[in-house]
Amino acid sequence: MMKKIFQYIDDHRDEYLSLLKEFCAQPSISTTHTGIEEMVRMVSETMRSVNVEPEIIPTAGNPMLYGELKGTGKRVLGFYNHYDVQPPEPLDEWKSDPFKPEIRDGKMYARGVSDNKGSLLARICAVDAWQKVYGQLPLNLRFVYEGEEEVGSPHLAWFAETYPEKIKTDGFIWEGGERYIDGPLQISLGVKGMCYLELRVRTAAMDAHSKHAAIIPNPAWRLVHALSTMKDRNDKILIENFYDKMDKVTGQDREYLRNLYYNEESIKNRMQIGSFINNLTGIDLLEKLLYEPTCNIAGIHSGYTGQGSKTVLPCTASVKMDIRLIPQQDPEEIAELVRKHLRKHGFEDIEVVQLSGMHPFRTNPDNPLAQTAFACAEEVYGIKPAIYRNAPGTTAMYRFCHKQNLPVLMFGVSNEASQNHAPNENIYVEDYFQGIKMITAVLKKFAGF
Amino acid sequence: MMKKIFQYIDDHRDEYLSLLKEFCAQPSISTTHTGIEEMVRMVSETMRSVNVEPEIIPTAGNPMLYGELKGTGKRVLGFYNHYDVQPPEPLDEWKSDPFKPEIRDGKMYARGVSDNKGSLLARICAVDAWQKVYGQLPLNLRFVYEGEEEVGSPHLAWFAETYPEKIKTDGFIWEGGERYIDGPLQISLGVKGMCYLELRVRTAAMDAHSKHAAIIPNPAWRLVHALSTMKDRNDKILIENFYDKMDKVTGQDREYLRNLYYNEESIKNRMQIGSFINNLTGIDLLEKLLYEPTCNIAGIHSGYTGQGSKTVLPCTASVKMDIRLIPQQDPEEIAELVRKHLRKHGFEDIEVVQLSGMHPFRTNPDNPLAQTAFACAEEVYGIKPAIYRNAPGTTAMYRFCHKQNLPVLMFGVSNEASQNHAPNENIYVEDYFQGIKMITAVLKKFAGF
């Protein structure tokens, strides 16, 4: 049966590619509010082209779009995507205009082609192909599109809470998802959480001449000493009770790692690093990457940091830390553990401000949608998928899914070198067509599971 | 005998104050090369007015001025001053125009009035008064004026080495020097040295998404861990052999501290600090301030430090450290000790760049010029001077003095609240006149010592 629809997709490559070009030619930059209205109109028209009546849901920011499609079966599948993109800067590093999609060596280059207009359209095109080949869908669909993913999804939790019936499904296919170049599709079952903190210390009302440094406290030294109590040189996090609530890594979790490809040499070469933290390699490296939390210094600042020298004793210092979490770590609790830790170590003068928090989220791999996707990926790509118990990054998945405990999967049409958020963002054209086929396979299999 | 000349000075207050106003009304900002030529002309004319023929000595930067005056006696006394000033910014914090000197409540406000046109002119006026009252000076004078003190005196060492005969004297009175408000004159016999370092670490070729933080090294953490080995929380410097070459604090050194005023409460209030480092007070506080080296973080930077949050794993981090030295600590040796320390602690990846170095310098308090100044200060100000074995700050004194081991003293017409380098720079008009008298007293006493 899939043969017929796969043939239809192959016969309509030009049409589906034109649609992708059109989408990518339309800027839709949420940070700068560029082209949002035009993009919403384009998405609406495209939804209508597959018989989905778009409902435009205003928010305090950019509107969301929602649509439903009734099928013959009972199963309900949701698609979550976003129509906004990152700003294209730095422009001079692009080999072609970020908003004039260009195909070179089998790849389409454009801002948003990977993140995530390619995946958004692969799902639409799959529905189109199904309708053209078989008519009505075999299951019910829900389309949820937001326009603020690149600015932190500020209204996604609100949407999920305000319209629980709109997201009530048997599972969602999320945005994101890569394929290894010449390798299997990656399917992620979750994400790490995030506790983003800023630690601030002020030691005096004003900066002073550094000749006073012998007797007036220095905030940068305070911060250095405080931070040195929070993580050791072997990357072990020393915040008391930090690791207590983490789900244990199971045998199955580790088993998944065996099927992941991670080209250590290529990453070391590209980043020009001699070795990974603690000289880890292989399964141990992947276990740390995926199953361990982080405590990253994203930024630190105090005093004079321009050219040359200035002999100043600063009065303030601050550090930005993003702490990625593993289920069941809770961002608010982690922030409180940091506060408690600092107090215990005599740093009660250091203020801890939580800038954002996202819970980690994982879907049970035994649920029908996950099992469906695993089987379809092998069928479509001819090789068992690489299953990520969770991706190393973070999305607002928990806010959307946790109340109804929705199963959720991440897979799509990007690859390891898709350059999301960076110049020369791209996808393989072939991955786009494969992605359309993958969705049609899921539609069929999930309907009859 | 001093009565007559003091009377002359009092009778010519308007004239001497007009000259100071004229000097301060002429901008002479070395950083921006503003008004340098005009200032050099003004200084030259003023030198001529006291029968000193100015020799303008070009440098790669702003010219220096040199002059001699022959006296009846054998002693030779030098005056070192600079004619350049700091930029006046931030302008909106000035209560009057920085280059329109204004007298309010007994103080003259202007950029450079304290640092150091007031002291420069007090010396000229003293010579003028002497000549008007007695004719020829009782000793020989050397005038050395530079125009780059505010940008680090890049040509002062060159001057001293190129013209050793010009600085061959029985001692120099340096720029700088304050008087306690309603208290004694401060006389400093030296300065701390300075080793200014930048520690830099790069852990990868480029920044990465912070989702990689579990496995790719973070340069800010490297720096935090390295720094935490260099100084403990009680402000003890842990760099191996750091304290080895310091001159011991003698009983006399500590004795000097007893005569210093240090209004701890006023400083704590102004800076809004609860206590000084290690809760020090009294003599112990002064001993740390003046007789101990520092290891200050003047600036630290890595990653994203703007508003809000960014989830980045930075690839570089750096810290600027100014380390103030006590005789016989050597800036080059200290830089090498830091390198050795980092290597020993496993931080060979941290690059140590020395941005500048100045040796500490101290004059023996038993030398005739120092003894002269101590006696004159008591006579003129009516109270024993506060003697600083060394000031807590740093100047290029060593470069100028060490080859000939010139005795050097710092005293002048500023006060504790003179706001050098800051808005509303000022001196007490009365301190200016006292400063003129003090110099005439030194001329007399040093000639006959």
- In SS3 terms, chain A reads as CHHHHHHHHHHCHHHHHHHHHHHHHCCCECCCCECHHHHHHHHHHHHHHCCCCCEEECCCCCCEEEEEECCCCCCEEEEEEECCECCCCCHHHCCCCCCCCEEECCEEECCCHHHHHHHHHHHHHHHHHHHHHHCCCCCEEEEEEECCHHHCCCCHHHHHHHCHHHHCCCCEEECCCEECCCCCEEEECEECEEEEEEEEEECCCCCEEHHHCCCCCCHHHHHHHHHHCCECCCCCECCCCCCCCCCCCCHHHHHHHHCCCCCHHHHHHHHCCCCCHHHCCHHHHHHHHHHCCCCEEEEEEEECCCCCCCCEECCEEEEEEEEEECCCCCHHHHHHHHHHHHHHCCCCCCEEEEEEEECCEECCCCCHHHHHHHHHHHHHHCCCCEEECCECCCCCHHHHHCCCCCCEEECCCEECCCCCCCCCCEEEHHHHHHHHHHHHHHHHHHHHC
pLDDT at B1: 65
Residues B312 and B427 in one domain: no
Mutation for testing the A interface, residue in B300, B304, B307, B390 having most A CBs under 10 Å: B300
Shortest CA gap A134–chain B (Å): 42
- Closest residue by Cα to residue A116 from A81, A72, A150, A165: A81
Q: Is A289 in Cβ contact with B212 (below 8 Å)? A: yes
Q: 3-class SS at B135? A: coil
Using a CB-CB cut-off of 8 Å, the residues of chain A touching B299 are 220, 302-305, 310, 312, 314
Q: Is B196 in Cβ contact with A297 (below 8 Å)? A: no
Q: Are A423 and A90 in contact (CB under 8 A)?
A: yes
Query: Percentage of chain B surpassing pLDDT 70?
Result: 100
Chain B residue with the nearest C-alpha to that of A191: B211
Report the residue from B272, B289, B304 with minimal CB separation from A214.
B289
Q: Report the number of distinct structural domains present in chain A.
A: 2
Residues A39 and A179 in one domain: yes
Assigned token pair, B408: 């050097």
User: pLDDT digit string (tens) for B171-204?
Assistant: 999 998 999 988 999 999 999 999 999 999 999 9
Rounded-to-integer distance, Cα A158 and Cα A144, Å? 13
Expressed in angstroms, the distance from the first to the final Cα of chain B is: 16
Q: Which of A150-159, B41-50, B105-114 has the lowest mean pLDDT?
A: A150-159
DSSP state of B394: -
Query: Percentage of chain B surpassing pLDDT 90?
Result: 93
Tell whether the torsion through CA atoms of B203, A90, A88 and A419 is positive or negative.
Answer: negative
pLDDT at A152: 84
User: pLDDT digit string (tens) for A136-172?
Assistant: 999 999 999 999 999 889 999 999 999 999 999 999 9
Residues B432-446 have a mean pLDDT of: 98
Q: Is B309 in Cβ contact with A355 (below 8 Å)? A: yes
Using a CB-CB cut-off of 8 Å, the residues of chain A touching B232 are 225
Q: Is B393 in Cβ contact with A220 (below 8 Å)? A: no
Last residue of a domain, one of B358, B377, B412: B358
Chain B residue with the nearest C-alpha to that of A325: B211
Q: Is A212 in Cβ contact with B225 (below 8 Å)? A: no
Sequence-ordered strand ranges (E) for B58-161 = 64-69, 76-82, 102-104, 107-109, 140-146
Using a CB-CB cut-off of 8 Å, the residues of chain A touching B417 are none
The yes-or-no verdict on residue B34 having pLDDT over 80 is yes
Q: Is A220 in Cβ contact with B300 (below 8 Å)? A: yes
Residues B375-387 have a mean pLDDT of: 96
Residues A309-317 have a mean pLDDT of: 93
Using a CB-CB cut-off of 8 Å, the residues of chain B touching A394 are 211, 311
Q: Is residue B253 part of a domain?
A: no
Q: Are B101 and B21 in contact (CB under 8 A)?
A: yes
Q: Is B289 in Cβ contact with A204 (below 8 Å)? A: no
How many CB atoms are closer than 10 A to CB A343? 12
Q: Is A272 in Cβ contact with B204 (below 8 Å)? A: yes
Report the residue from B221, B308, B355 with minimal CB separation from A355.
B308
Q: Is residue B264 part of a domain?
A: no
Last residue of a domain, one of B358, B377, B397: B358
Mutation for testing the A interface, residue in B215, B257, B273 having most A CBs under 10 Å: B215
Residues B83 and B135 in one domain: yes
pLDDT at A90: 87
Query: Percentage of chain A surpassing pLDDT 70?
Result: 100
Report the residue from A217, A228, A289 with minimal CB separation from B277.
A217
pLDDT at A1: 64
Report the residue from B270, B277, B312 with minimal CB separation from A215.
B277
pLDDT at B413: 98
Range of the domain at A22: 2-191+360-448
Residues B136 and B165 in one domain: yes
Three-point CA angle A226, B393, B99, nearest 5°: 110
Residues A128 and A224 in one domain: no
Q: Is residue B13 part of a domain?
A: yes
- Closest residue by Cα to residue A416 from A299, A217, A262: A262
Q: Is B294 in Cβ contact with A309 (below 8 Å)? A: no
Shortest CA gap B369–chain A (Å): 26
Mutation for testing the A interface, residue in B224, B350, B390, B416 having most A CBs under 10 Å: B224
Q: Is B228 in Cβ contact with A224 (below 8 Å)? A: yes
Report the residue from B211, B318, B356 with minimal CB separation from A392.
B211
Mutation for testing the B interface, residue in A194, A212, A215 having most B CBs under 10 Å: A215
Using a CB-CB cut-off of 8 Å, the residues of chain A touching B421 are 209
Residues B156 and B205 in one domain: no
User: pLDDT digit string (tens) for B196-229?
Assistant: 999 999 999 999 999 999 999 999 999 999 999 9
Expressed in angstroms, the distance from the first to the final Cα of chain A is: 16
The amino acid sitting at B157 is A
Buried-state track A376-394, b at ≥16 Cβ within 10 A, e below 16: bbeebbeeebbbbbbbbbb
Helices (H), A263-347: 264-271, 282-291, 331-344
Q: 3-class SS at B309? A: coil
- Closest residue by Cα to residue B177 from B108, B100, B120, B256: B120
**Which residues are paired to A360 by β-bridges?**
none
Using a CB-CB cut-off of 8 Å, the residues of chain B touching A271 are 204-206, 208, 216
Assigned token pair, A87: 């700003």
Sheet strands side by side (includes A186-188)? A55-57, A64-69, A140-146, A76-82, A172-174, A408-410, A186-188, A386-388
Shortest CA gap A255–chain B (Å): 20
Residues B214 and B68 in one domain: no
Residues A320 and A173 in one domain: no
Q: Is A309 in Cβ contact with B355 (below 8 Å)? A: yes
Q: Is B205 in Cβ contact with A272 (below 8 Å)? A: yes
**What DSSP string describes A51-89?**
T---EEE--SSSPEEEEEE--SSS-EEEEEEE--B----
What are φ and ψ of residue B227, in 5° steps? -60, -40
- Closest residue by Cα to residue A113 from A128, A98, A126: A98
Residues B349-375 have a mean pLDDT of: 96
Number of H helices, E strands in chain B: 14, 21
Q: 3-class SS at B279? A: helix
Rounded-to-integer distance, Cα A82 and Cα A112, Å? 10
Rounded-to-integer distance, Cα A52 and Cα A54, Å? 6
Q: Is residue A262 part of a domain?
A: no
Residues A138 and A229 in one domain: no
Rounded-to-integer distance, Cα A337 and Cα A240, Å? 7
Last residue of a domain, one of A334, A358, A382: A358
User: pLDDT digit string (tens) for A207-250?
Assistant: 999 999 999 999 999 999 999 999 999 999 999 999 999 999 99
Pairing mode of beta strands A178-179, A414-415: parallel
Report the residue from B276, B311, B393 with minimal CB separation from A209.
B393
Residues B348-356 have a mean pLDDT of: 96
pTM: 0.90
Name A339's Cβ contacts closer than 8 Å, sequence gap at least 6.
A352
Pairing mode of beta strands B186-188, B386-388: parallel
The yes-or-no verdict on residue A27 having pLDDT over 70 is yes
Rounded-to-integer distance, Cα A200 and Cα A206, Å? 15
Q: Is residue B284 part of a domain?
A: no
Q: Is residue B176 part of a domain?
A: yes
- Closest residue by Cα to residue A316 from A197, A222, A209: A222
Total residue length of chain B: 449
**Which residues are paired to A201 by β-bridges?**
A317
Q: Is B288 in Cβ contact with A211 (below 8 Å)? A: no
The yes-or-no verdict on residue A449 having pLDDT over 80 is no
Rounded-to-integer distance, Cα B336 and Cα B330, Å? 10
User: pLDDT digit string (tens) for B264-306?
Assistant: 999 999 899 999 999 999 999 999 999 999 999 999 999 999 9
Q: Is B221 in Cβ contact with A231 (below 8 Å)? A: yes
Rg (CA), chain B: 24
Residues A357-377 have a mean pLDDT of: 97
Helices (H), B178-263: 219-228, 251-258
Assigned token pair, A190: 């979750």
Residues B367 and B421 in one domain: yes
Residues B106 and B139 in one domain: yes
CATH of the domain at A317: 3.30.70.360
Shortest CA gap A397–chain B (Å): 16
Count of CB pairs separated by less than 8 Å, A with B = 229
How does the average pLDDT of chain B come out, rounded?
Answer: 96
pLDDT band at B310 (very low <50, low <70, confident <90, very high): confident
Buried-state track B184-203, b at ≥16 Cβ within 10 A, e below 16: bbbbbbbbbbbbbbbbbbbb
pLDDT at B449: 67
Q: Is residue A374 part of a domain?
A: yes
**Which residues are paired to B48 by β-bridges?**
none
Q: ipTM for the complex?
A: 0.91
Using a CB-CB cut-off of 8 Å, the residues of chain B touching A280 are 215
Report the residue from A224, A303, A305 with minimal CB separation from B224.
A224
- Closest residue by Cα to residue A201 from A302, A326, A92, A83: A302
Q: Are A199 and A323 in contact (CB under 8 A)?
A: no
**Which residues are paired to A317 by β-bridges?**
A201, A302
Rounded-to-integer distance, Cα A418 and Cα A421, Å? 9
Residues A106-135 have a mean pLDDT of: 98
Residues B364 and B391 in one domain: yes
The yes-or-no verdict on residue A309 having pLDDT over 90 is no
Report the residue from A276, A301, A309 with minimal CB separation from B216.
A276
Shortest CA gap A35–chain B (Å): 24
How many CB atoms are closer than 10 A to CB B427? 31
Rg (CA), chain A: 24
CATH of the domain at B371: 3.40.630.10
**Which residues are paired to A39 by β-bridges?**
none
Shortest CA gap A280–chain B (Å): 8
pLDDT at B314: 96
Q: Is residue A388 part of a domain?
A: yes
Rounded-to-integer distance, Cα A147 and Cα A58, Å? 11
